[in-house]
């Protein structure tokens, strides 16, 4: 075959091979095969010396053209391969923002906390401050300074969790788990002079066996007002406003006489059942009324023990049980569910 034809054949074959490469390494192999030191084109060029002198320049020029053509084609194909590799990478890495995400389960406020928050909002809206104090308390604050002297049955170790040695030591410096939020009355009056308007939500502890309506730990909200000229009428007016704010304009309260060592006179306050409006239903267990709290005018001995002049000032206080209210509000039948934190239960609220 004449050298010119061989050159044409190499050019055609090589261009075809270049076009067919799909990766860089294949392209490199083609380059070596034709243009490398032992490549086909290189080998052919070495033979130009054997040609008749007049043909050499023509064939030489043609060989150079073939070399240039192949070199250019390789460069072009290299760019093409790089571009398509980039395209493939982009396609593979594309994020479809329309695919629905993984849903994360959201928690929410515990039903007890909801009730505390609601009641707290109503009182703060009426100008009450929120006070917080220790759950581990001295007998002096939980009992003595609340006019509950040593020997009072409420101080018995059978009812109260004593922490200090002796367990049954009801003395003033005995350390215990507070059995009521009422020690907050003393702690607040110790801190500031009247006028005082405060509520104190928190946990309290009593030696009660856990069942559907009892728990050794539960929540109370203490409330207290001390100012000039405060009477039972202020207590009644305030509590009526609170139940209306919580249960609507028709809500009514009822006051029954009662006894607490630290209030005189004392009362228990009921709210007309929000479900049946007094007719009697399953929520109020047929009574038409729901027990709300214990309250009364703060005993002068308690005020004086905190350095408050009872010729000038008087006050009232109440203690409200939170669990009972929450159970009625949400139709919870067993108190234990409230504390077990079983998600299947909590999800309902
Ligand atoms: N501390 C009382 C109780 O736990 C409730 C109460 C508080 C009564 C304040 C009167 C005044 O039963």
User: At a CB cut-off of 8 Å and minimum separation 6, what does 116 contact?
Assistant: 201, 219, 221, 322
Q: Dihedral of CA 113/114/119/120: which sign?
A: positive
Task: Take residue 336 and report the two structure tokens written for it.
Answer: 């234990």
Q: Ligand 1 center to residue 236 CA distance, Å?
A: 16
The predicted structure's pLDDT at residue 164 = 83
183 lines ligand 1 (CB under 6 A): no
Q: Dihedral of CA 322/326/329/335: which sign?
A: negative
The predicted structure's pLDDT at residue 43 = 86
Question: What residue owns the CA closest to ligand 1's atom 9?
Answer: 318
Question: What residue owns the CA closest to ligand 1's atom 5?
Answer: 319
Please choose, from the candidates 298, 296, 276, the residue with its C-alpha nearest in 3D space to the C-alpha of residue 287: 276
Along the chain (349 residues), what's the average pLDDT of each consecutive run of 10 residues?
85 92 91 91 84 85 90 93 92 90 90 95 97 96 94 86 71 90 98 97 96 94 98 96 90 95 97 90 90 96 97 98 90 92 91
Q: Ligand 1 center to residue 30 CA distance, Å?
A: 96
The span from the CA of 232 to the CA of 239, in Å, is 11
User: At a CB cut-off of 8 Å and minimum separation 6, what does 331 contact?
Assistant: 283
What number does the ligand 1 atom closest to the CA of 319 have? 7
The span from the CA of 43 to the CA of 345, in Å, is 87
Task: Take residue 181 and report the two structure tokens written for it.
Answer: 């939020």
Which residues are paired to 197 by β-bridges?
225
Q: Ligand 1 center to residue 219 CA distance, Å?
A: 12
319 lines ligand 1 (CB under 6 A): yes
Q: Which residue has the tokens 């009514």?
A: 252
205 lines ligand 1 (CB under 6 A): no
238 lines ligand 1 (CB under 6 A): no
182 lines ligand 1 (CB under 6 A): yes
266 SS3 class:
strand
Please choose, from the candidates 35, 63, 65, 29, the residue with its C-alpha nearest in 3D space to the C-alpha of residue 47: 63
How many CA atoms are closer than 13 Å to the CA of 114, on its beta-carbon side? 13
Which DSSP string corresponds to 156-194?
-TTTS-B-STTSS--STT-EEE-SSSTHHHHHHHHH-PS
The span from the CA of 183 to the CA of 25, in Å, is 85
76 SS3 class:
helix
Q: What distance, in Å, lies between the first and last C-alpha atoms of the chain?
A: 94
Q: Ligand 1 center to residue 246 CA distance, Å?
A: 21
111 lines ligand 1 (CB under 6 A): no
Please, what's the largest Cα pairwise distance for the chain?
139
């Amino acid at each position: 075959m004449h050298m010119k034809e061989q050159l044409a054949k190499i050019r055609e074959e090589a261009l075809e091979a270049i076009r067919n490469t799909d990766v860089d390494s294949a392209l490199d192999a083609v380059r070596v095969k034709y243009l490398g030191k032992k490549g086909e084109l290189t080998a052919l060029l070495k033979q130009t010396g054997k040609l008749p002198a007049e043909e050499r320049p023509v064939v030489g020029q043609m060989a150079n053209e073939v070399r240039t053509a192949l070199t250019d084609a390789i460069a072009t194909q290299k760019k093409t391969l790089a571009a398509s590799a980039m395209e493939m990478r982009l396609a593979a890495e594309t994020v479809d923002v329309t695919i629905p995400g993984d849903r994360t389960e959201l928690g929410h406020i515990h039903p007890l906390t909801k009730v505390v928050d609601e009641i707290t909002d109503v009182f703060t809206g009426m100008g009450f401050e929120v006070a917080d104090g220790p759950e581990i308390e001295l007998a002096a604050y939980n009992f003595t300074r609340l006019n509950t002297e040593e020997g009072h049955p409420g101080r018995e170790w059978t009812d109260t969790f004593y922490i200090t040695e002796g367990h049954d030591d009801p003395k003033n410096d005995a350390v215990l788990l507070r059995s009521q939020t009422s020690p907050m009355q003393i702690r607040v009056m110790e801190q500031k002079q009247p006028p005082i308007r405060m509520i104190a939500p928190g946990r309290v502890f009593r030696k009660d066996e856990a069942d559907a309506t009892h728990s050794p730990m539960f929540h109370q909200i203490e409330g207290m007002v001390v100012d000039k000229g405060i009477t039972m009428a202020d207590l009644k007016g305030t509590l009526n406003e609170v139940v209306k704010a919580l249960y609507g304009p028709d809500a009514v309260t009822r006051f029954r006489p009662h006894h607490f060592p630290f209030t005189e006179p004392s009362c228990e306050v009921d709210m007309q059942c929000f479900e049946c409006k007094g007719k009697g239903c399953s929520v109020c267990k047929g009574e038409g009324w729901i027990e709300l709290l214990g309250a009364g005018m703060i005993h002068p001995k308690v005020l004086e023990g905190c350095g408050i002049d009872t010729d000038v000032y008087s006050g009232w206080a109440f203690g409200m049980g939170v669990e009972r209210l929450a159970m009625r509000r949400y139709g919870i039948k067993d108190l234990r569910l409230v504390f077990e934190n079983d998600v299947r239960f909590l999800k309902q609220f």
